[in-house]
Amino acid sequence: MERKNHPRGTRNSRREMKKNVFSKKITFISILTISIILICGGVYATYAMQHKPKEASELEDNSYYEQKEAALLTKIRESQKHEELESTEQEKTDGLIQTLTYEPIASDSIPQLLATKTELTTLMASIEKDSPKETAIKLVGHIKMLKINENVVGYQPVVDIYTWNYNAEDWYKKTELGQNTAFMNQKTKQPLTLQDIFMSESNILAVQQVIEQKLLSESPDGNAIIDSILNMPKISLDGTSFTYHPDAISLGLPENPTGKKEIMLDYKEIAGYVNPEFVDPASIKEVLPKPLDPNKKYISLTFDDGPNPETTPRLLDILKEKGVKATFFMLGQNVVKHEALVKRVAEEGHEVASHSYSHPQLTGVDAQRVKDEVQKTDKAIYHAIGKLPTDFRPPYGAVNKDVAKIIGKPIIQWSVDSQDWQSHNAQAIIKRIDETAYNDTIVLMHDIHPETVDAVATVIDRLRGEGYEILPSNDLLGKKAKPLHMYYGSKDERPVQ
């Protein structure tokens, strides 16, 4: 068969045609792609133009902004008119930042006004410095009056910050508060003092006990610092710095091993020692002890001079069987020897209190000996149970004002003396208490005498038969006994003379 041959020129022309078709396709796709990009870009540009944030420079031509600004300023000024503190306005504008400062007119009625105004000025300057310059902002500074109760008001620097939100086209508000508030005694029209809050030296000494225990409890090793804590200078009504809060108080501390310069106490921790007229009533409402029922009879059983390993355990067994809680006034020298027994007393719900270390008559020894007798016992009891004793019974009941001040604890005396130390006879002890017990009194006994332990079960039964409810002395006294005072019962409190 004869093979046909195509001319070379024909083959080349076909190749050229294919190239032209391909080029046209490429050109078409490119034009289409560019068109799509241009269309999308135009749509996006239109959207962006419609939704872009308004620049600060546009605010002058924005009537809507002007309306919102006028409404805000009217609201601010109307609000200030209704504040309890009448004030005058000072206005300043720097670019887009406008400041409105309201200064009280009756400045004489505000304690520490200069310091409060200085803090307000400093706070406003700091906020203005940190504010963006391209954003419309209103800074409103004023001194707010805080009414805690009828007797206490506070004055606090406040800055309201209004920032214009360009997207939302509205003002956004936040508030900055000054760190310091000046509180005033409404009765005296003077700055609030520790005298207002604690009323007396005896109350501030009671607070000292709470502080000592708190510092020890918060320490990783209370036994390592207890000497320094017990020897820490006492806080005072006129020499202690403080920061008042409606529900708590921060007290400045002398130099101490914890390194703390101040301590915060909730009023509920010291409810029995604060003047309720000068704190937020809600802060102590739930913790104030309920008064004893006037229609009931109460009595407290107290035991001195222990613990004794021969007699105290048997006494504890009887008290546990009878469901009675008592108060044990312990000698430090016996605590050191019988720590496990002291711990048992505390764990079974009895009160552990101090009766000095070695039982001297404290009014007959020098001040250093008194201090040693108290502190050595405090340390011994703390080492045994992790708590300092809060109450003290002086040996022989002997105390005077100087001794009481060194002791720094409530002095718990007695009104019914069982005379067990004299009779050493169970029946005589029972008879004595039968004949001398009366309502709201404290009974003195000694857990070192076997005859006393022999008598206790009958004493409890007969007291209950007479209608008495038996309480530890701390509960009988409403958990608010205070230093420099002696207590013979819940209705017999006497200042130490």
Give CA–CA dist 137/95, Å, rounded: 10
Question: CATH code for 59-189?
Answer: 3.30.565.50
C-beta separation of 333 from 373 below 8 A:
no
Active-site residue, from 245, 338, 350, 446: 446
Domain boundaries, the chain: 59-189, 194-283, 297-495
The CATH architecture assigned to 194-283 reads Alpha-Beta Complex (3.90)
Three-state DSSP class for 312? helix
Of 132-146, 228-242, 280-294, which range is least confident?
A: 280-294
> Under the phi-then-psi rule, with left for phi > 0, alpha for psi from -120 to 50, and beta for the rest, what region is 397?
left
pLDDT per position as a tens digit, 2-54: 444 444 444 445 555 545 545 555 566 566 566 665 555 554 444 444 444 44
Q: Which pTM does this prediction carry?
A: 0.80
Q: Residue range 197-211: average pLDDT? A: 96
pLDDT per position as a tens digit, 467-490: 999 999 999 999 889 999 999 999
Active-site residue, from 142, 196, 304, 378: 304
Q: Residue range 183-195: average pLDDT? A: 92
Among 373, 380, 336, 342, which residue's Cα sits nearest to residue 358? 373
Q: Which superfamily does 297-495 belong to?
A: Glycoside hydrolase/deacetylase (3.20.20.370)
The verdict on whether 304 is a catalytic residue reads yes
| 3-state helix vs strand vs coil in the chain, percent to 5 | 45, 20, 35
Query: How far from the centroid of its chain's Cα atoms is residue 307's Cα?
Result: 36
The verdict on whether 227 is a catalytic residue reads no
Q: Residue range 418-427: average pLDDT? A: 97
